[in-house]
Structure 1
Amino acid sequence: MSTLRVIVFNADESYAPTLRATLTSFDFVRIVAEVDEPAILPHVVKQFQADVLLLHLDPSPDSVLPIAGEVAVSNPQLAVFALSESTDGQLILSVMRRGFREFITKPVDAGILEDALRKISVQQENAPPQGKLIAVLGTVGGVGATSLASNLAVELASMTAGRVALVDLDYRFGQVATFLDVSPTYTIADLASSPEQLETHVIERALVQHASGVHVLSRPTHFVQSDNITAANCVGVLTGLARMSDYVVVDGPNRYDVGATAILDLADLTMLVIQLMVPSVRNAQRILQGMQEAGFNLDRTRLVCNRMSRESATLPASDVEATLNKKIYFSIPDDWPTMSASINLGEPLSTHGPKTRVRNAIRELAERIHVPPSSGGAAEESAKKGPGLLSKIFSD
């Protein structure tokens, strides 16, 4: 089944977590944009390639329907769904006369909504496949997220004949280009300046190809350019890259904020990089809690423990899992001499240390992503163990 790209309109902030949780529980759905102003709907539909426009009409259907009706008429390829707690016959009739595909009442029956979305997805079977978007999110500075993202992209590039893109979302201090020793002419800032849906040739021009085959999209050259990049700009760029790539590996978002939600909505897989240290685990706990409260499907989030070492005075992994109520999906061994030399030389581990344990671990992680386990990539079971010695530390 093809991935279904959905634009969500919702002016009721209190309902956003519930709506997001429902949509992200469907593994074939990706939210490409969330809108809360009816006036910008035509622009958003033009900027983002989508299959479905889901409109939450409450609390004021009359303010949404006129513009939404125009969007439905001018975009016949777009399936428009309406969602409301009202069962008023006149409202339903008005919705259907405007060419909407479905009217769904609240509280939403997830099965009914899923069936309706699956019908649209089946109709899209002949559409070009979308690449998988992998977000690598660090919990603290220096946790190794950029190293992981860069080397993961290189390993994936060796496993697929298609394109693998690597995007730096640390707009001010990102070092992806440095880690791979490439010198970009254009950056994400050049793509973000376009208000329209990005054409393939425009994106191509901004990418610089590394010797491994990875196509790098670098952070802006100047600080001032960073201020002009919005979440909508970023999602537009990532959506465009997904159309032309097998994998898009994103170094970031570099902080969990309002802008990050748009990227996490779009991600097929989020890798939350931790170390077995109190600051990292504290932040991981806050991020996971924030994502859960916002309605994100945590089944798409994996804990990756970096710099795992028996010699280090780190926290017990079992206690960290119990604290976070989530299993560690993958562990990467500590080999700072190899990793630091690789960074300083601007060489991926596949070149600088092809037979090292740390390189082999990242390659194994890439293989898991490229060829999921027989379980079909099902979510990890939550940690069952009761609170351990960390319970007091993290209960503040």
Structure 2
Amino acid sequence: MKNVIRLALVDPHDSSRNALKTLLLGIDMVWLEAECSKYEFFADVIMQTQPNIALIALDSNPQKGLELVSRISTELPTTQVLVISSSTEGSLILQAMRNGAREFLNAPLKLDDFLAAIDRIQQAGGVRTSDGTVRSSQVIAVAGVSGGIGCTSLAVNLGCALASQPSASVAIIDLDLALGDADVWLDIIPDYTIQDVADNISRLDYALLKRSLTKHECGAFLLPRPVQLDDRISISPEVLRRVIALLKATFTHLVVDISKSYGPSDLAALEVADMILLTTQLDLPSLRNTVRLLQFFSNHEGLSEKTRIVVNRIGLEDSQISLTKALETLGREVFAQIPNDYAVMVEARNNGVPLIIQSPKSRLTKSFTQLAQQLIEKPQASEEKPDESKKPRKGLFSFLSTAKST
């Protein structure tokens, strides 16, 4: 039971307690350690099990419930107390918070509200999992500077490399709604897609979301783009944020392959991402667009700081711009380099088999494995800020044109 949040609940009302159990048992990140039908016994249950979270329903007897909140908060400060009530009375909410409750949730409990509360507590470092760590989920957005740059190959093979790590659970989201092909790379014929999730967002729960995911033999799950290409294809930013929030409760890593349109949903994915892998190549059109996108990101709060440059197809014979010169001009360090190995990559794509299975010993596969290990071992790399003293030079494109001709 590693990397789960242990929770105990008390609710004397059988019907509401059973409803809470049903909701909690559907959340992979939560382990229901204990349930109790009487306030009088719950403190002893908490002292014996010492869960990460104590969920206390107040409606049966608010006074006894509040006393319980105070006792647990005082005697076992490592357990975070959440209360739930159908009452919206200000005095009750204020007293619960004064007694030590970290969150006051409205009954009946909604999945989104519960996950948001857990996320707020985790951000404050208040909840540790069964193995003593703070549970977190990393969202990695893979963005490209042009079509055919290798974003999907990066997203799919990075996701599969992450899934091969014992501590990771991975979902890949194909956000290129029109022409995405992550399912082709994994040889998957999906029964459900991201469009099905969006169409049923009003009743979205874990059961529906899990049915929409397809698991590959490498361990990674895929949420594919819609099957049909028609006018209905549309995922609003609000829907996407909710889907990602739900997936974060189950997976340690989400890899989002965004489209090249940089529309509202793509921007929403970039905003919620912990890291943006901006994929480019060492050629004039790619580097021109890299500068344009870096400038675009700088105009959106928070995007520039979490953007990392990934240079794909290093060693490509047609490239006549050196890595050193290009990155010096861009004013950014290179975060990862993916070598050019056309034969290996094309074979993997045509067979619908990820590199980690198709060619586990190739240098291309090793580059994805190293990148995956870097993301797992040093997630704080996403918090590094770019060197502001290095700005893209003026006359960039004339410099690149000169470099290309020499």
TM-score, normalised via structure 1 length: 0.65
The reply on whether 1:293 has 2:286 as its aligned counterpart is no
Tell me what 2:36 maps to: none
Tell me what 2:127 maps to: 125
Contact 2:330 2:392 in 1 (8 A): no
- Which of 283, 286, 310 is matched with 1:304 structurally? 310
Q: CA deviation at 1:375?
A: 7.2
Q: CA deviation at 1:124?
A: 5.1
Give the 5 Å matches for 1:1-396: 121-122=123-124, 125=127, 129-196=135-202, 198-224=204-230, 226-309=232-315, 311-372=317-378, 378-381=384-387, 384=390, 387=393, 390=396, 392=398
**Structure-1 separation of matches of 2:235 and 2:335:** 32
TM-score, normalised via structure 2 length: 0.63
Q: CA deviation at 1:321?
A: 1.6
**Structure-1 separation of matches of 2:372 and 2:187:** 22
Q: CA deviation at 1:327?
A: 1.2
Q: Deviations over 1:330-385 (max 9, x none)?
A: 11110001101110010111121111111111111111101118978634545749
2:127 is matched by which residue type in structure 1? E
2:191 is matched by which residue type in structure 1? T
Does the C-alpha gap of structure 1 residues 341 and 232 become closer, same or farther in structure 2, counting only changes over 3 Å? same
Contact 2:275 2:382 in 1 (8 A): no
**Structure-2 separation of matches of 1:150 and 1:160:** 18
Q: CA deviation at 1:126?
A: 5.9
Q: CA deviation at 1:162?
A: 4.5
Q: Structure 1 stretches of 5 or more lacking a match?
A: 1-71, 80-100, 102-116
Does the C-alpha gap of structure 1 residues 358 and 232 become closer, same or farther in structure 2, counting only changes over 3 Å? same
**Structure-2 separation of matches of 1:215 and 1:170:** 17
Higher relative contact order (Cα pairs below 8 Å, separated by 6+ residues): 1
Larger Rg: 2
Does the C-alpha gap of structure 1 residues 358 and 377 become closer, same or farther in structure 2, counting only changes over 3 Å? farther
Contact 1:253 1:263 in 2 (8 A): no
Contact 2:170 2:220 in 1 (8 A): yes
Does the C-alpha gap of structure 1 residues 73 and 124 become closer, same or farther in structure 2, counting only changes over 3 Å? farther
SS in 2 for 1:392: helix
1:238 is matched by which residue type in structure 2? I
1:209 is matched by which residue type in structure 2? K
Does the C-alpha gap of structure 1 residues 159 and 75 become closer, same or farther in structure 2, counting only changes over 3 Å? farther
SS in 2 for 1:204: helix
Q: CA deviation at 1:234?
A: 1.8
Contact 1:207 1:217 in 2 (8 A): yes
RMSD over aligned CA atoms reads: 3.4
Query: Which moved further from structure 2: 301-310 or 314-323?
Result: 314-323
Contact 1:274 1:306 in 2 (8 A): yes
SS in 1 for 2:124: helix
Query: Which moved further from structure 2: 229-238 or 328-337?
Result: 229-238
Contact 2:142 2:258 in 1 (8 A): yes
2:384 is matched by which residue type in structure 1? A
1:267 is matched by which residue type in structure 2? A
Across the two proteins, how many residue pairs are aligned to each other? 288
Q: CA deviation at 1:233?
A: 1.8
2:124 is matched by which residue type in structure 1? V
Q: Structure 2 stretches of 5 or more lacking a match?
A: 1-86, 95-102, 104-118, 402-406
**Structure-1 separation of matches of 2:347 and 2:277:** 24
Does the C-alpha gap of structure 1 residues 161 and 373 become closer, same or farther in structure 2, counting only changes over 3 Å? closer
Query: Which moved further from structure 2: 268-277 or 235-244?
Result: 235-244
**Structure-1 separation of matches of 2:139 and 2:382:** 17
**Structure-2 separation of matches of 1:153 and 1:74:** 47
Q: CA deviation at 1:312?
A: 3.5
**Structure-2 separation of matches of 1:370 and 1:335:** 25
**Structure-1 separation of matches of 2:209 and 2:143:** 24
Q: CA deviation at 1:145?
A: 0.5
SS in 1 for 2:230: helix
Contact 2:321 2:400 in 1 (8 A): no
Q: Deviations over 1:209-265 (max 9, x none)?
A: 101011111100111265332222222212211111011111114332333221111
Q: CA deviation at 1:161?
A: 4.1
